[in-house]
Structure 1
Amino acid sequence: MANRSKTSMRIGVSTVCIACALAGVVQGGNLTIPDIQYTESPDGASPYNGKVVDCSGGIVVAKVAGGRPRLFLQDPNALDGWGAIQVKGWASDAFASVAVGDWVEMQQVFVEEYRGTTFLQYWDENSDGSRPILRVVSSGHRLPRALVVDVNEIEAPEYLPLEDAWLVANHRAERLESMLLQIRDVGVVERDLGKAQDNYELQSFREPNDTGARCWASDYSNQDRQKPDLYVPEIEAGRRLRAVTGVLEQYTNLGEGFDYYQLLTLSEKSLVGLCSADLDQDGDADLWDYKLFTEQLLVPSLPPVGDLNHDGKVDSTDLDLFNAAWQQADVNGDGIVDGDDLDI
């Protein structure tokens, strides 16, 4: 074990992992994020785990405050996976001069696997005496578009009663670790899951009978979450969402019975609810919804799903609200509210 005196960051660290004490320096040019992240190891560990490297970096797609603040860097050229990585700071103000949209590169940074996630450690000093360097190369970059994935690509863990553990069946989501992702057409099934009981389970409402079409998410990194609440207000059992966007993190602690992936939402914009004109709540606003509204406008019936202003009747006021909601959500103007509007 090793002791370090943290001077410029004013943080004391009493212990570090053995791998850090044995750290080697990788010779050669800058590594890309995919160079560091790509692995064929069953445990998902980076081949550079325990090494000091130079990294050409990527765009800051998320910045999470705290005593151990974090940056999520993503390489916009890595479209199919292995394209993002987390940087952990060891002082609350470590990234005060960094903004979302900056391109950040790093030199002499230690790569470490911790709780299933690959980190670049931005502390004061490595065990070999070198100091990590973080540099903002340029600013104002447009963020990479969130990669749209099926829910089953970041499949939820299964509860194994004999082990009293929540474990993911496979790690095919490893290539998506720390990347900006989006899932669509999901409903909130259950809350109070996971190590901190702050996870919730999302199920595809287009595949309600597919037990694999589920994933876990969390709002603990959501800047609009009101503390001490664990969730943003949209997260209620039974609520359907057109889209959920976030960065993917793995949490592994087999000693406590956990190994799962979680989609971390970042702000209130991370969650897109159903269009209020989507009366049948199938994720689209289309002619079926218009037919349903017209029927209720002409012949009152229960439940009055067309009563958008909740005054107990379906009338011309609701028609105005129905049309306004449809037009606002139909971003591409093709007359239908669907996934294509989320792509713009």
Structure 2
Amino acid sequence: MKGIILSILSLTVAVGIMAVPFSCYDIQYTENASGDSPYEGQTVDVTGVVTAVIPGTGFYMADPGGGPWSGLYVYGRNSAAQVSVGDEIIATGDIIEYSGLTELSLPTNIQIISNNNPVPAAIDLTTAQVPYNNRISEQWEGVLVSIYDLTVTSTPDSYGQWKVSSGNAVSMIDDIFFNIAAATTINIGDTWHKITGIVDQHTAAGYKLNPRSMQDMIKENKIENSIIEISSIGNAQIGESYILDVSTSMINSDWEVSSYTMDLSFDNGRLQFNDVVFDSTLTLTRPQISDLGQGKIRIHYQADQTMTANLGDILIKLSFTVQGFGNLSVNISEFKYGDTPVNNLSSGSLVVKVTEAIAFMSISTTSSSKNVFDPAMGEKLIIEYGTKVGFLSRALIRIYDVQGRLVATPVHKNFESSTGFESVQWDGRDSNMKRLEPGVYYCHAEVSNRETSKRYKTVQPVVIKARLK
């Protein structure tokens, strides 16, 4: 009987131990020269804080305390839509090695414990500590790190990878989070003061830092190289109000900055601007706000003294109320510190997912939120379409003239976005690439559920303007 009790106790203790989720450090730490996880091939529960999300692909998580071996990549297209940066989670899945990268693959369960947790601070390293071609970088896989005082030694290759050096050591930069080459110019010999990114690796290329946004890339001490970025909300709801942070990179005292002017634009049919919030920000008194019309506002702030800031400090906060579905962007069209324009501007957004099985469509142009455009002047129609996520669906966008004749089919494809929203720009040409005559046309959106064969439709008019003679 005593033996049975001891066996039961032993089993209880063992189950209790197994029920405790692993940390990222537990999964990553290894003394094996290959760098492979000791848990490769096993199904595990891992806990950590989400540090970055790659839409439609996966996300990174890390131990709250940071440090070497503290990060982990989670692969799974559906999983990327289930989490947000700052979520504390427990993820269940298999540990695999994919081209040298340790990852938790295709999680079968993600439990969100809490939200809005701080992301572990980036670890300051030298290029000698995180070279692209040496196994000493293995400990930083999945970890947010920063390197300093860099010189570009190669331009982006066909995979978006490029190299920087500091002294004799070389690190590699990659673009899994955003298209760096499209956001800024990378030339051999350029210098960068600081680049922050999450480290990944591929056996064919080596270890690479992946900046999460332009805010992770800072050039030398010039006002024009400052970075202004608006935060985003990943799962907003119609009728609710939200605060978007406007953050800045470092402001040096010798720049003698004492004012800023910011022009914003947004879809005022689906977003209502409420006010600014300046408590606990770099903006110490209420700024001047000017309504420029058609979803455009200007914010001007004049300080009583020279402004200084550290990377990521909040310049001001913006309050919006959501009034419609869609991926609703809040764009910075222009920003100046004093009289100096700032080059690196990153927009924010509020993603309001469709909650019903319908065909959603919103039409605007490259210059306004109206459905009237002039292709002869280079304007294009932006057609945003969407549906509820969670089922395999196909989108069909067709343009008809007033006689009901089909003239163009801008979209005929499966949905790929994890948010349920996609968009296309139409240049006013028919299926034969001929420019259509001015007049009224009708844009039909159809979403088909490929699992049930159900179809959902909506239609909106569009106008091609006639040019004045």
- Identify whether the pair has TM-score above 0.5, normalized to the shorter chain: yes
Give the Å deviation of 1:54: 1.6
Q: SS of 1:236's equivalent? A: coil
Displacement after TM superposition at 1:277 (Å): 7.6
Residue equivalent to 2:72 = 85
Given residue 50 of structure 1, which amino acid in structure 2 is its aligned partner? G
Q: Which residue of 2 aligns with 1:272?
A: 218
* 1:121 shift after superposition: 1.3
Residue 154 of structure 1 is matched in structure 2 by 130
TM-score of the aligned structures, taking structure 2 as reference length: 0.44
How many angstroms does 1:104 deviate by? Answer: 1.3
Rounded Cα–Cα distance in structure 1 between residues aligned with 2:191 and 2:74 = 33
Pairwise mapping of residues 27-66 of structure 1 onto structure 2 (< 5 A)? 27=18, 29-55=20-46, 57-66=47-56
Give secondary structure in 2 for the equivalent of 1:242: strand
- Report deviation, 1:61: 0.8
Q: 1:97 aligns with which of 53, 64, 82?
A: 82
1:239 equivalent in structure 2:
190
Partner Cα separation in structure 1 for residue 58 and residue 51 of structure 2: 11
Give the secondary-structure state (helix, strand or coil) at the position aligned to 2:156: strand
Q: Which residue of 2 aligns with 1:110?
A: 94
Q: CA deviation at 1:325?
A: 2.3
Say which SS state the counterpart of residue 145 (structure 1) adopts. Answer: coil
| Residues 185/135 of structure 1: CA separation in 2 closer, same or farther (3 Å cut) | same
Rounded to whole Å, the distance in 1 between the matches of 2:149 and 2:256 is 17
Alignment of 1:111-130 (within 5 A): 111-123=95-107
RMSD: 2.8
Structure 2 equivalent of residue 218 of structure 1: 174
Shift of the 343–323 alpha-carbon distance from structure 1 to 2, 3 Å rule, reads closer
Match of 1:261 in 2: 207
> Structure 1 segments of 4 or more deviating over 6 A?
none
- Per-residue CA shift, 1:320-342, capped at 9, x if unaligned? xx9762658xx9xxxxxxxx956
Cα distance in structure 2, aligned partners of 1:147 and 1:40? 21
Match of 1:198 in 2: 160
What is the CA–CA distance in structure 1 between the aligned matches of 2:35 and 2:256, rounded to whole Å?
44
Residues 1:325 and 2:255 are matched in the alignment: yes
Flag the 1:147–1:234 CA change in 2: closer, same or farther, 3 A: farther
Please list the CA deviations of residues 235-278 of structure 1 after superposition, one character each: whole Å capped at 9, or x if unmatched. Answer: 222221111011000111xxxxx241010111110101111289
SS in 2 for 1:175: helix
Pair 1:36–1:72, CA change in 2 (3 A): same
The 1:323/1:264 distance shift into structure 2, 3 A limit, reads closer
Aligned in 2, Cα 1:35/1:343: closer, same or farther, shift over 3 Å? same
Which residue of 56, 59, 69 corresponds with 1:71? 59
Change (3 A) 1:97 1:151: same
Larger radius of gyration: 2
Q: Evaluate the alpha carbon distance shift between residue 323 and residue 145 of structure 1 in structure 2; reply closer, same or farther with a 3 A threshold.
A: closer
Q: Is the 8 A contact 1:220 1:230 kept in 2?
A: no
1:172 aligns with 2:136: yes
TM-score (normalised: structure 1): 0.59
Query: Could you tell me whether the CA contact under 8 Å between 1:218 and 1:231 is conserved in 2?
Result: no
Q: Is the 8 A contact 2:59 2:73 kept in 1?
A: yes
Distance (whole Å) between structure 2 residues aligned to residue 179 and residue 326 of structure 1: 35
Q: Percent identity?
A: 25
With over 3 angstroms needed to count, the CA separation of the structure-2 counterparts of 1:136 and 1:155, relative to structure 1, is same
Distance in 1, Cα, partners of 2:159 & 2:80: 28
Q: Given residue 49 of structure 1, which amino acid in structure 2 is its aligned partner?
A: E
Q: Secondary structure at the match of 1:46?
A: coil
The residue type equivalent to 2:148 in the other structure is R
Q: Counterpart of 1:335?
A: none
Deviation at 1:77, TM superposition (A): 1.9
Name stretches of at least 5 consecutive residues in structure 1 with no aligned partner.
1-25, 124-131, 157-167, 253-257, 279-321, 332-339
Tell me, yes or no, if the aligned pair for 1:34 and 1:78 is still in contact at 8 Å: no
Cα 1:249–1:326 shift into 2, 3 Å? farther
Deviation at 1:133, TM superposition (A): 1.2
Cα distance in 2, alignment partners of residues 137 and 73 from structure 1: 13
Deviation (angstroms), 1:122? 2.3
Q: Kindly provide the amino acid, as one letter, of the partner of residue 275 in structure 1.
A: N
Q: Distance in 2 between matches of 1:198 and 1:259?
A: 11
2:145 corresponding residue in structure 1: 181
Q: Which residue in 2 is equivalent to 1:141? A: 117
Secondary structure at 1:153 match in 2: coil
Counterparts of 2:143 and 2:182 in 1: how far apart (Å)?
21
Residues 51 and 110 of structure 1 are in contact (CA less than 8 Å); yes or no, is this contact kept in structure 2?
yes
* 1:32 CA displacement: 1.2
CA distance in 2, matches of 1:238, 1:147: 25
Shift of 1:95: 2.8
SS of the aligned residue for 2:147 comes to strand
